[in-house]
A and B are shown apart, each in its own frame.
Chain A
Amino acid sequence: MDDAAQIIIDKVNHTYRPPRGRPVLALADVSLEVRPREFLALLGPSGCGKSTLLYLLGGFLPTEAGRILVEGKPVAAPGPDRGIVFQHFALFPWKTVRGNVLYGLERQRMPRSEREQRAQAFIDLVGLKGFEDSYPSQLSGGMRQRTAIARTLAFDPNILLMDEPFGALDAQTRSLMQTELLGIWQRTPKTVVFVTHDVQEAVYLADRVAVMSARPGRIKAIVDTKFKFGARDPGVFRSKEFVEKVDELWDLVRVEALKAQEEKVA
């Protein structure tokens, strides 16, 4: 199993240093392994450092203590092998949907006809056919996140890093997007590391859920959440197995959420 791990996070510590005020230990001795084509959710209360861990994995922040290996190589900088999707989409507002999706392909020096084709294929995949020439400001939140997902998938990363990607969407859109993400993931299998604070979302989407503690973030537990259901089966939410998993994880998270809240009050 250990040899098969695609991502190895080994005793990583991270200190957040705000421009004013004293430094805060955000991550303490975090160790975690992610297997190829696995859907792993990082679940924890807000401020537990789960996004920080994702940014370290993406190479956006420097690893100060410990090591992070992706396919055997230490992470040093951002790279197109690890595509990220942000909560607030981070689309280029001056580019159309097509322009946004094309940007990563242009950077890879793909020939024009090929990248046009590829961009169109991924715009179709996320269901934005007909909106190619719209600007992000003309789209709904759900459509913006679809664009961002298409943009990231288009440059074909082996690993997909998702930072609460549906956190800014309304409940209905979020539920639809979850099902859609599972569909996309099954069609283009990739390793996914998915940050969320939504227990149901984690259980529904992930193969395994890593529960993180309140600050400083540690891996508190890793729970297997793989079900024998079809991804689109709406009945899954009502199944006994699902409800029990959600309860089990809730119990783990609730304690940490309370701790996080107390710390905020204090």
Chain B
Amino acid sequence: MAAAMARVDDQPTLAAAAADLTQAAARRLDLVFRSGAALLSILLLLICWELFARSGRVTMFMLPPFSVVAEQIKTDALSGDLWRNLGVTLYRALAGFAIAACIGIVLGVSMSRNRVVRWFCDPIISVGFPMPKIAFLPVIILWLGVYDVSKICVVVFDAIFPVVTATLAGIAAVDKELVWSARNMGASERQLTWQIMLPAAAPQILTGLQVALPIALIVEIIAEMVMGGYGLGGAMMSASRFANSPGVFAGIVEIAVVGFLLIRAMAVLRRRLLSWHQETAE
């Protein structure tokens, strides 16, 4: 009797469980599709590349098939060349980015909070931002040589502008009532700057950093291509000098992957830092 009752009772729960299961499966499928869909177009592009390169319309030198390029990347990875070049490029791009981020934020904050600093720096920022900083490369080579310091300097020089302007815009947009509240509770000017304005402007500052990061990588690669030496850009240039076509294309693929991963890492960092923010709240 009791068993029969239990069975009768069980049926709806079982149905519900089955429904739950299919729903969970649908969600998972949806997730797979969505993350997969992002890569699908890339995959399609690679297949087109492979087919076109093997179609006989272009020579191996003009466009080596993707499989050959992949083979080249594998060889570089096994010999250790890839990792050394990657390490050098990442070190310089990220060091430049970090320096640009620190100086940029401090400069942006100082300009927002101090009229003299603003009066002095504002015109320089306005003139400097749209200027192609990469055009300074010959001067920087002249002053600082062709090694790490000069490359990091160019990266800083270029990546700092979006950080400064984002910090300025972010602080300008801080809610007046937030500032008044903090003042009301007895915050000093210094505390107001670092404890209230900076976190309140964090979403916009992070947007600035997200703009600055790919700039840092791009500028680093260009600097390497111009100055030579180790690094992904440098390796591409030397491959080009030796007419090593797969080597050149390998460089392009490597740079694309590195850039993609960097941007994804930055997006994750943003979500972490802004866990309190409306945009990440579900």
- A60-B180 in contact given A80-B185, A94-B199, A108-B186 (Cβ < 8 Å): yes
Query: A242: CB under 8 A from chain B?
Result: no
Contacts of A82 in B (CB 8 A): 184
- A78-B180 in contact given A104-B185, A107-B186 (Cβ < 8 Å): yes
Proximity string of chain A (96-128) to chain B, C-beta cutoff 8 Å, 1 when within and 0 when not: 100000011001100000000000000000000
Proximity string of chain B (164-187) to chain A, C-beta cutoff 8 Å, 1 when within and 0 when not: 000000000001011011111111
Q: How far is the CB of B176 from chain A (nearest CB, A)?
A: 9
Contacts of A88 in B (CB 8 A): 177
Proximity string of chain B (86-106) to chain A, C-beta cutoff 8 Å, 1 when within and 0 when not: 000000000000000000000
Contacts of A155 in B (CB 8 A): 185-186
Query: A93: CB under 8 A from chain B?
Result: yes
Query: B196: CB under 8 A from chain A?
Result: yes
Query: A137: CB under 8 A from chain B?
Result: yes
Query: B278: CB under 8 A from chain A?
Result: yes
User: In the complex, which range does the number of interface residues on chain B fall in?
Assistant: 20 to 34
Interface majority SS (helix, strand, loop, mixed), chain B: helix
Contact B277 A137 (CB under 8 A): yes
Q: List 8 A-B contacts (CB under 8 A).
A: A60-B180, A93-B277, A94-B200, A94-B202, A104-B185, A107-B187, A137-B276, A151-B185
Query: B281: CB under 8 A from chain A?
Result: yes
Measured CB to CB, the nearest residue on chain A to B177 is A90
Query: B240: CB under 8 A from chain A?
Result: no
- A60-B178 in contact given A92-B199, A135-B276, A138-B281 (Cβ < 8 Å): no
Q: How far is the CA of A86 from the CA of B184 in the complex (A)?
A: 12
Query: A66: CB under 8 A from chain B?
Result: no
User: In the complex, which range does the number of interface residues on chain A fall in?
Assistant: 20 to 34
Proximity string of chain B (256-282) to chain A, C-beta cutoff 8 Å, 1 when within and 0 when not: 000000000000000000011110010
Q: How far is the CA of A263 from the CA of B183 in the complex (A)?
A: 35
Query: B191: CB under 8 A from chain A?
Result: yes
Contacts of B202 in A (CB 8 A): 94
Measured CB to CB, the nearest residue on chain A to B195 is A103
Proximity string of chain B (31-50) to chain A, C-beta cutoff 8 Å, 1 when within and 0 when not: 00000000000000000000
Proximity string of chain A (70-96) to chain B, C-beta cutoff 8 Å, 1 when within and 0 when not: 000000011110111010101011111
Contact A86 B181 (CB under 8 A): yes
